[in-house]
Amino acid sequence: MGEEDDVAELLKITLSRLQQIFNSGYELEVMWKPDGNPKLSGEVKGSTIYVYERDKSGALQTLVHEFIDYLVSESIRPYRDVTNKLIELLNEYIYQRKERIVDAIAHGVLHLATNNGCSLTNRRKEKRR
């Protein structure tokens, strides 16, 4: 077994221990991709923790960080989901309200732009005299 196999296996063992310690995150797996993304140390995509750190110590640190970040993110997911739904409903309400206002203004402008609208303007001028 080479050093790369050792790091990959150590990450899997460590993930299993983290899952037992926190009694959570059992849906997760870990993939060590030292050449995966030079801009990140690691990330969670779906149910996989990707670790990009090359050295064993950095890889372990990243695994623990990403695991805890995942658990914290999962704990606040209901709040995020409710907030996003509320924003979606509010956006729809505001859009419908804006459309009603635009329709009312368009109807009024159309009325004014036709002969009917011009005659209303003329009548007002006659009353002022």
Convert the pLDDT of each residue in 62-95 to its tens digit.
Answer: 999 999 999 999 999 999 999 999 999 999 999 9
User: Residue 49 in 3-state DSSP?
Assistant: strand
pLDDT for residue 5:
76
* Regions in the chain scoring below 70 on pLDDT: 1-4, 115-129
Kindly report whether the global pTM for this prediction surpasses the value 0.85.
no
Indicate if the alpha-carbon torsion angle 17, 52, 61, 55 is positive or negative: positive
The answer to whether the CB of 7 falls within 8 A of the CB of 32 is: yes
What are the structure tokens assigned to 30, written together?
């870990």
